[in-house]
Chains A and B, each alone.
Chain A
Amino acid sequence: MPRVRLQYFALLREEAGRQSETVDTAAATPADLYAELAARHGFRLPVAQLRVAVNAAFSDWDRPLRDGDEVVFIPPVAGG
């Protein structure tokens, strides 16, 4: 089961109640991982509204997750 390191920003950080966490996941892709975490933390934003970065680069939602990956879910922000 891959162990991944997660970082949250903005709305997701608030909803998760934390800045980062490490999880063991059965999810095969970032999309599956987000669904898993959305159920756990009550994330309201749909995947279509987010971007995901894996290992410091924007990634597709369906790339395979590997052990040790660093995953960042990024909601858009617009304040100015």
Chain B
Amino acid sequence: MSAFSFSAAPIDTAGLAGPLASPAAGGFAAFEGRVRDQNEGRTVRSLEYEAFEALAVAEGERIVADAVRRHGATLGRCVHRTGRLAVGDVAVWVGVSAPHRAEAFAACREIIDAVKHRLPIWKKEHYADADSGWVNCEHAAHPAVAEFDYSRQSALPEVGTTGQRRLAEAHVVVVGAGGLGCHVLASLAGAGIGRLTIVDHDRVEASNLHRQPLYAIADVGRPKAEAAARRLADYNPGLRYVPVARRFDAELGAALLAGANAVVDCTDNFAAKFLVNDAAQRAGIPAVIASVYQYEGQLQVVRADRGGSCLRCQWPEATRDGLVGNCVEAGVLGPVPAILGQLQALEVLKLLLDLPGQLQDELLLVDLLEHGQRRLAAPRNPACAGRCVRVDAAAAHAPPATDVDLRLPLAAAVAAGYRIVDIREPMECAFEPLPVSGQQSMPLGRLLDGALAVEAGHPYLLVCAHGVRSHAAAEFLRARGHANVWSLAGGLAAQS
């Protein structure tokens, strides 16, 4: 059954409504447009409709599909008459089923307005005085809604059509659609992330609105995940939004994060942040985590995909929610979560587009009163209670082939606190010095003789020309109980 069709015969409204019923639809709204006996002071006896059907059907189907999606309705249908109609005949019929009445009314209204406005359908009225005339039918086959245009973004040489395609193919999960989440979602939808999963178990409250502009005052009381998805579908209809109005937990995390490219933590409590951190560790995907407090914010990118340090490396206990403020208790100005949320969106785009300067093994502190920013090196903590270090402990017994490789710029490793050990031969080192300073030189042979004193509590990164020797050396040291030893993937050759 097509969502839009023409009928030369009288419209059977009851027969059309039946198939729109669904067990999930608690509301059904219908609109009937009928031939009336007056138009601009003249008595109308009958009228005729003529349509450019090929174009009108395609456009009509799009109108119904867009309205159903935008308003979260279940099913929609529209039938328009052609041919000769008498006064009282049904000229156009729209029916929409939806979970609740609000969606049904809204989608129904949008469909009839768009059909009247946009479709190439003409009406000829026959009057009582035997005269007749084509009536200006408002619509002049207006073009369809504009296409969302990413050209200002893809003009960046680092983005281009390839980067834009990468974003279109990406799936990002956003946990928390509040002060941070609204801005993360708006920016990621604007950037054209193909699939956005929105997880929030709360409903919109009036006290959220000042910092959560995805919601209108009429959304108060509605589930945030669904209200956000609806608003975003209006903003950029070309993407897929999956609202999940449930509390995030380990089980949900495992289901939602499988196959995702990144998860963004926009929750407002530590218990939830640890859950997101742990789920990202298990799924092996990056987590972009932010928190705000009054005029300050903290941002951390947990590169679980690269063996990076995690939230538990910095904050080892999950019991501090009673001690630190959240927005409810401490108060917050709207721009503070807005800015931190935008920074989170930026980090997501940086990692999806493989842009330089990605945060890893760092904590970014932002003070928006003083406009201060600090990037603090936050390397993996050997005492971390999280899985990021438990992975190492397992690796010490049976190191999987790839677990020791870290792919990152050498300078970033230095900044992150890794102790760099150059395991090449002295002649190689002299020929091509490392692009960083402060490294220790320890040719592989001496390392295998046990000459490297590995100090517990510090991460080590072994470097060679192509990452083959350093891989073997890292496995050698891991097998001797040094859990925090890594190999620079691809070696120096991969750095340029």
A-side interface residues toward B, CB under 8 Å? 7, 9-11, 13, 19, 45, 48-49, 51, 53, 56-58, 60, 72, 74-80
B267 in complex: contacting residue of A53, A57, A72, A80, CB < 8 Å: A80
- B376–A58 CB distance below 8 A: yes
4 new A-B contacts, CB < 8 A, other than A56-B375, A56-B377, are: A13-B296, A74-B376, A78-B268, A80-B269
In Å, the complex CA distance between A36 and B378 comes to 25
- What are 22 A-B residue pairs whose CB atoms fall within 8 Å in the complex? A9-B365, A10-B325, A19-B367, A19-B370, A45-B323, A49-B323, A53-B374, A58-B314, A72-B374, A74-B363, A74-B365, A76-B291, A78-B269, A78-B270, A78-B321, A79-B291, A79-B293, A79-B325, A80-B178, A80-B179, A80-B181, A80-B268
- B327–A79 CB distance below 8 A: yes
- B315–A10 CB distance below 8 A: no
- B320–A9 CB distance below 8 A: no
Q: How far is the CB of B168 from chain A (nearest CB, A)?
A: 28
Q: How far is the CB of A1 from chain B (nearest CB, A)?
A: 26
Which residues of chain B are within 8 angstroms of A45 by Cβ–Cβ distance? 323
- B325–A77 CB distance below 8 A: yes
Count CB-based A-B contacts (< 8 Å).
103
- B292–A49 CB distance below 8 A: no
Which residues of chain B are within 8 angstroms of A58 by Cβ–Cβ distance? 314, 363, 376-379, 417
Q: What residue in chain A is nearest B176 (Cβ atoms)?
A: A80
Q: What residue in chain A is nearest B316 (Cβ atoms)?
A: A48
Which residues of chain A are within 8 angstroms of B176 by Cβ–Cβ distance? 80
Q: How far is the CB of B295 from chain A (nearest CB, A)?
A: 9
In Å, the complex CA distance between A32 and B324 comes to 23
Which residues of chain B are within 8 angstroms of A57 by Cβ–Cβ distance? 376-379, 417
Q: How far is the CB of A78 from chain B (nearest CB, A)?
A: 5
Residue B273 interfacial (CB < 8 Å) = yes
Which residues of chain B are within 8 angstroms of A60 by Cβ–Cβ distance? 457
Which residues of chain B are within 8 angstroms of A56 by Cβ–Cβ distance? 374-377
Residue B353 interfacial (CB < 8 Å) = no
In Å, the complex CA distance between A56 and B375 comes to 7
- B315–A80 CB distance below 8 A: no
Which residues of B295-327 are within 8 A (CB) of A?
Answer: 296-298, 314-315, 317, 320-321, 323-327
B324 in complex: contacting residue of A48, A53, A72, A76, CB < 8 Å: A76
Which residues of B275-299 are within 8 A (CB) of A?
Answer: 290-294, 296-298
Residue B332 interfacial (CB < 8 Å) = yes
B249-267 near A? 1/0 per residue, CB < 8 Å: 0000000000000000011
Residue B337 interfacial (CB < 8 Å) = yes
In Å, the complex CA distance between A79 and B378 comes to 21
Which residues of chain A are within 8 angstroms of B156 by Cβ–Cβ distance? none
Residue B345 interfacial (CB < 8 Å) = no
Which residues of B402-458 are within 8 A (CB) of A?
Answer: 417, 457
Which 8 pairs, one residue from A and one from B, show the smallest C-beta to C-beta distance? Answer: A80-B268, A77-B293, A57-B377, A79-B326, A79-B327, A77-B291, A79-B292, A10-B293
B296 in complex: contacting residue of A48, A72, A77, A78, CB < 8 Å: A77
A10 and B181 in contact, given A48-B317, A53-B376 (Cβ under 8 angstroms): no
A51 and B314 in contact, given A80-B178, A80-B266 (Cβ under 8 angstroms): yes
Residue B233 interfacial (CB < 8 Å) = no
- A78–B291 CB distance below 8 A: yes
Q: What residue in chain A is nearest B331 (Cβ atoms)?
A: A79
Which residues of chain A are within 8 angstroms of B323 by Cβ–Cβ distance? 45, 49, 75
Q: How far is the CB of A43 from chain B (nearest CB, A)?
A: 12
- B296–A10 CB distance below 8 A: yes
Which residues of chain A are within 8 angstroms of B293 by Cβ–Cβ distance? 10-11, 77-79
In Å, the complex CA distance between A56 and B268 comes to 26
Which residues of chain B are within 8 angstroms of A72 by Cβ–Cβ distance? 365, 374, 376
Q: How far is the CB of B381 from chain A (nearest CB, A)?
A: 8
Q: How far is the CB of A59 from chain B (nearest CB, A)?
A: 10
Which residues of B346-377 are within 8 A (CB) of A?
Answer: 363, 365, 367, 369-370, 374-377
